[in-house]
Chain A
């Protein structure tokens, strides 16, 4: 989108979508539901599980800050205690344990860690040459068999920039060249040597699907689909195959009669979608196409967890509320292609008003660094248009709601005792343009501190550069 003067970062937009540790301790106790579920499809054992380990960190008490909990509360002069990767207490009268590091939050704000449902970090890594272009397996329109985690490069120098923007969890997605682009990777955004060290334990995989212009542009001259009706036929064909596959495997898993059916990677993933274990994350701009995709989901009995880039979601906010589908949107991206022409600032606010679940997402290594700002833009424009949006609701657009879209809302996304200690300390009101993340805690670990170079991670790639 930024062709003039600084031609950087084009690849993600055009093709993608638009688009050090402190020692280790005990493994996390987060649920392993998705891993368990995968076993039932046959063949995928625990080989691809997370090796994430929580970093040891002393207890931390941030006190005398304004704490926005994303549960409806904004606590003045509040304190929050983090211990062993968990939020222990939030309120105005939290005692500092003797072993806790005390952080003075005077004049500062505290929110949950920022969560982005739509990132291409690691799969379209900087410096952005062909060598790092690993986001689209654009060799055929249905590639349900590929997994974003197998492309993900943990040394992407964009990762620390996003961390400095307060981001603690991302969904790294395949690009949108394909009708079905492959599995997403849901990650703790921390420095790591491998993607395995970053995989959010127990997170559901997502399945990237894409509507509209991109697949038909990419495949129009390469055997199709070349039309939106071709797109629909492509999804249906894929899921018809998966239905048969699932039936065979479910039967075999039940009775273990004879040889197991042949494994098929593509159908393995799609069968997991049909079983509800993999969440559909659907790039879809236009309202009419989202309605088509809902028909598709109804035909095959799966749920779309979130539409992404849903610039026209406001036109069907009632439908999305009824269907329980989240809409991941930008505050103000519009106009860069025809299916994005009807993007309006008030999209998220109108979704909120209709009772639908709005998410502010980035799809962009720049935008991910300031999702708080994007949410602020969307909130204030909504308010000016007379649509009531609370500060807490706007905060939820980049915390609790994306947590739900990733199926992690019981673990992260709000500041409540028992939740994972993913916490951001901001220099000012996070809905102000002047606010910056001062400290970022990921699972209780101080992964970023603006005031302390010892807590400003650099990936290997950046070493030796200016």
Chain B
């Protein structure tokens, strides 16, 4: 029994540790015990028998958290059979929670975690109300083992993408969303009545209305996808009207109104490397994330290409190149997303008691020259292998090794 416990103790020693919750610590030790961080600092006693990882010259950070994507829900974008992210035919899919669609055996999981991303949001896709997103760790044989929190948020689209659900008009989208919300509140007031003798058809199914109640009671955040400034303002308006815990996602033109967003206390999920203009966001630009950070907006960064969730660090590096501070960027891929998704008590920083999602890097995590030496998820030292590393081994010298 003692041997078993000791086997679960890992000491990462000698590295430059970036706890995120506090300033960096040179030559520090991160002690992991039974999947949790037991201690962080320069005066940490390493128990005899602990597995030692020499991190001298290395950088140690929390595992990166991507606030986007469809990890486990979408194996190959072009193959519908492998896509579980959308409840087709439902414009209002509030009751749809993606969790049971997740495939823990997805090849995308090893490919991305060995580049330092340990936790991702699994987000539904859809029309007006997409459903409920879950937060998962990128390790585990079962959905239960991967689950961090579910649901994390309800997702609704107020961008150009949901116009059809509003009869072709943004105004229609906003008005329909209000009808749904109003009916959900009405349903809460007269639920039994509704079941017995409904006089008027409600704006969504009873299951969907019921699923919205935690949102309308301020228990579950609403992630509102909006890019155009006016759509962001509509989202903020509806958020005020219904006293929602709002999170903005996409938010391409948010840089125009950081003060308004900060004053509303609304956090934002932004993909820094988005700057291609469309009618949904003609003002889209690389400086969005940096300007929001400067304006005091609570900000998490995203990489939305699920198969390349690993590029979250490139997103962060580019945000720095365009004006974010390095510390802001690291926080925006670790502790801030943990806060936004309500798991900062367990995730996002290197502090005693937190879940041991830890990455040992050869250098600055945002730099291309930096490699990943170790990835710990819930204290497990993840083998740095994936289907892609197997292909490399097979073809590294030709003819291939079959």
Q: A and B from one assembly?
A: yes
Of residues 361 through 402 on chain B, the ones whose CB sits less than 8 Å from some CB of chain A are 366-371, 388, 391-392, 395-396, 398, 400
Do the beta carbons of B79 and A385 come within 8 Å of each other?
no
- Any B CB within 8 A of the CB of A129: yes
Do the beta carbons of B398 and A433 come within 8 Å of each other?
no
CB-CB nearest in chain B for A14: B78
1/0 contact string of A221-256 vs chain B (CB within 8 Å): 000000000000000000000000000000000000
CB-CB nearest in chain B for A429: B369
CB-CB nearest in chain B for A4: B304
- Any B CB within 8 A of the CB of A314: yes
Partner of A8, one of B280, B306, B398: B280
Of residues 77 through 135 on chain B, the ones whose CB sits less than 8 Å from some CB of chain A are 77-79, 107-108, 111, 123, 125
1/0 contact string of A6-28 vs chain B (CB within 8 Å): 11110000000000000000000
Q: How far is the CB of A88 from chain B (nearest CB, A)?
A: 32
Q: How far, in whole Å, are A342 and B111 apart by their CA atoms in the complex?
A: 12
- Any A CB within 8 A of the CB of B282: yes
CB-CB nearest in chain B for A364: B276
- Any A CB within 8 A of the CB of B311: yes
Of residues 222 through 258 on chain B, the ones whose CB sits less than 8 Å from some CB of chain A are 225, 227, 229, 249-250, 252-253, 256
Of residues 117 through 150 on chain A, the ones whose CB sits less than 8 Å from some CB of chain B are 126-129
CB-CB nearest in chain B for A126: B277
Q: How far, in whole Å, are A434 and B367 apart by their CA atoms in the complex?
A: 8
Do the beta carbons of B311 and A332 come within 8 Å of each other?
yes
1/0 contact string of A367-383 vs chain B (CB within 8 Å): 00110010011011000
- Any A CB within 8 A of the CB of B305: yes
CB-CB nearest in chain A for B274: A6
Partner-binding segment picked from B25-33, B38-46, B209-217, B313-321:
B313-321
CB-CB nearest in chain B for A12: B276
Of A335, A365, A380, most buried by chain B (CB within 10 Å of CB) is A335
Do the beta carbons of B304 and A6 come within 8 Å of each other?
yes
Knowing A1-B77, A127-B278 are in contact, say whether A317-B305 is a contact too (CB < 8 A): no
Q: How far, in whole Å, are A376 and B321 apart by their CA atoms in the complex?
A: 16
Do the beta carbons of A5 and B225 come within 8 Å of each other?
yes
CB-CB nearest in chain B for A433: B317
Partner of B275, one of A127, A161, A387: A161
Q: How far, in whole Å, are A433 and B322 apart by their CA atoms in the complex?
A: 11
- Any B CB within 8 A of the CB of A300: no
Do the beta carbons of B391 and A342 come within 8 Å of each other?
yes
CB-CB nearest in chain A for B322: A436
Q: How far is the CB of A68 from chain B (nearest CB, A)?
A: 16
| Chain A residues within 8 Å of chain B by Cβ, number | 57
Q: How far is the CB of A95 from chain B (nearest CB, A)?
A: 34
Do the beta carbons of A128 and B278 come within 8 Å of each other?
yes
Do the beta carbons of B371 and A384 come within 8 Å of each other?
yes
Q: How far, in whole Å, are A9 and B161 apart by their CA atoms in the complex?
A: 13
Do the beta carbons of A334 and B307 come within 8 Å of each other?
yes
Q: How far, in whole Å, are A76 and B396 apart by their CA atoms in the complex?
A: 34
- Any B CB within 8 A of the CB of A272: no
Q: Which chain A residues lie closer than 8 Å to B69 at the CB level?
A: 4
Q: Which chain A residues lie closer than 8 Å to B275 at the CB level?
A: 161, 366, 369
- Any A CB within 8 A of the CB of B336: no
Partner of A433, one of B274, B318, B395: B318
- Any B CB within 8 A of the CB of A432: yes
Q: Which chain B residues lie closer than 8 Å to A343 at the CB level?
A: 388
Q: How far, in whole Å, are A315 and B388 apart by their CA atoms in the complex?
A: 13
Partner of B392, one of A3, A6, A346: A346
Q: How far is the CB of B81 from chain A (nearest CB, A)?
A: 11
CB-CB nearest in chain A for B133: A4
| Chain B residues within 8 Å of chain A by Cβ, number | 65
- Any A CB within 8 A of the CB of B11: no
Knowing A127-B278, A334-B388, A466-B282 are in contact, say whether A433-B314 is a contact too (CB < 8 A): yes
Of B274, B305, B317, most buried by chain A (CB within 10 Å of CB) is B305
Do the beta carbons of B277 and A462 come within 8 Å of each other?
yes
Partner of B108, one of A127, A335, A350, A436: A335
Q: Which chain B residues lie closer than 8 Å to A462 at the CB level?
A: 277, 282
Q: How far, in whole Å, are A387 and B393 apart by their CA atoms in the complex?
A: 12
Q: Which chain B residues lie closer than 8 Å to A337 at the CB level?
A: 76-79
Q: Which chain B residues lie closer than 8 Å to A5 at the CB level?
A: 68, 123, 225, 249-250, 269, 271, 302, 304
Q: Which chain B residues lie closer than 8 Å to A350 at the CB level?
A: 395-396
- Any B CB within 8 A of the CB of A297: no
Q: How far, in whole Å, are A462 and B281 apart by their CA atoms in the complex?
A: 12
Of B107, B111, B307, most buried by chain A (CB within 10 Å of CB) is B307
Q: How far is the CB of B123 from chain A (nearest CB, A)?
A: 6
Q: How far is the CB of B370 from chain A (nearest CB, A)?
A: 8
Q: How far is the CB of B365 from chain A (nearest CB, A)?
A: 10
Q: How far, in whole Å, are A338 and B307 apart by their CA atoms in the complex?
A: 13
Of residues 339 through 368 on chain A, the ones whose CB sits less than 8 Å from some CB of chain B are 341-346, 350, 354, 365-366
Do the beta carbons of A377 and B78 come within 8 Å of each other?
no
Q: How far is the CB of B284 from chain A (nearest CB, A)?
A: 8
Q: How far is the CB of B315 from chain A (nearest CB, A)?
A: 10
Q: Which chain B residues lie closer than 8 Å to A2 at the CB level?
A: 271, 274, 304-305
Do the beta carbons of B78 and A345 come within 8 Å of each other?
no
Q: How far, in whole Å, are A213 and B70 apart by their CA atoms in the complex?
A: 23
Do the beta carbons of B159 and A338 come within 8 Å of each other?
no
Q: Which chain A residues lie closer than 8 Å to B307 at the CB level?
A: 1, 334-336
Do the beta carbons of B125 and A4 come within 8 Å of each other?
yes
Do the beta carbons of A333 and B256 come within 8 Å of each other?
no
- Any B CB within 8 A of the CB of A105: no
Do the beta carbons of B271 and A377 come within 8 Å of each other?
no
Q: How far, in whole Å, are A379 and B159 apart by their CA atoms in the complex?
A: 38
Knowing A433-B368, A434-B321 are in contact, say whether A1-B305 is a contact too (CB < 8 A): yes
Q: How far, in whole Å, are A334 and B284 apart by their CA atoms in the complex?
A: 26
Q: Which chain A residues lie closer than 8 Å to B318 at the CB level?
A: 370, 373, 433
1/0 contact string of B279-314 vs chain A (CB within 8 Å): 111111000000000000000001011111011001
Do the beta carbons of B68 and A318 come within 8 Å of each other?
no
Do the beta carbons of A8 and B274 come within 8 Å of each other?
yes
- Any A CB within 8 A of the CB of B273: yes
Partner of A317, one of B77, B252, B391, B398: B398
Knowing A344-B392, A433-B318 are in contact, say whether A366-B79 is a contact too (CB < 8 A): no
Partner of A344, one of B227, B269, B281, B391: B391
Do the beta carbons of A129 and B279 come within 8 Å of each other?
yes
Do the beta carbons of A366 and B276 come within 8 Å of each other?
yes
Do the beta carbons of A127 and B282 come within 8 Å of each other?
yes
Knowing A338-B78, A433-B366 are in contact, say whether A9-B276 is a contact too (CB < 8 A): yes
CB-CB nearest in chain A for B386: A344
Do the beta carbons of A433 and B392 come within 8 Å of each other?
no
- Any B CB within 8 A of the CB of A158: yes
Q: How far, in whole Å, are A149 and B320 apart by their CA atoms in the complex?
A: 37
Do the beta carbons of A126 and B276 come within 8 Å of each other?
yes
Q: How far is the CB of B177 from chain A (nearest CB, A)?
A: 17
Q: How far is the CB of A248 from chain B (nearest CB, A)?
A: 42
Q: Which chain A residues lie closer than 8 Å to B302 at the CB level?
A: 5
A-B contact pairs, 18 of them (CB 8 A): A1-B308, A2-B271, A4-B123, A4-B125, A5-B249, A9-B276, A127-B279, A332-B308, A332-B310, A335-B76, A336-B307, A342-B391, A344-B391, A379-B368, A385-B396, A431-B369, A433-B314, A466-B229
- Rank and list the top 8 A-B pairs by shortest CB-CB distance, nearest first: A433-B317, A335-B307, A466-B283, A337-B78, A376-B368, A2-B304, A5-B250, A465-B282
* Seed contacts A5-B123, A436-B322; 17 additional CB < 8 Å A-B pairs: A2-B305, A4-B68, A4-B123, A5-B225, A5-B250, A9-B276, A315-B398, A334-B388, A336-B78, A337-B77, A337-B78, A341-B76, A350-B395, A369-B275, A376-B368, A387-B396, A465-B282
B contact set with A: CB distance below 8 Å = 68-70, 75-79, 107-108, 111, 123, 125, 159-161, 225, 227, 229, 249-250, 252-253, 256, 269, 271, 273-284, 302, 304-308, 310-311, 314, 317-318, 320-322, 366-371, 388, 391-392, 395-396, 398, 400
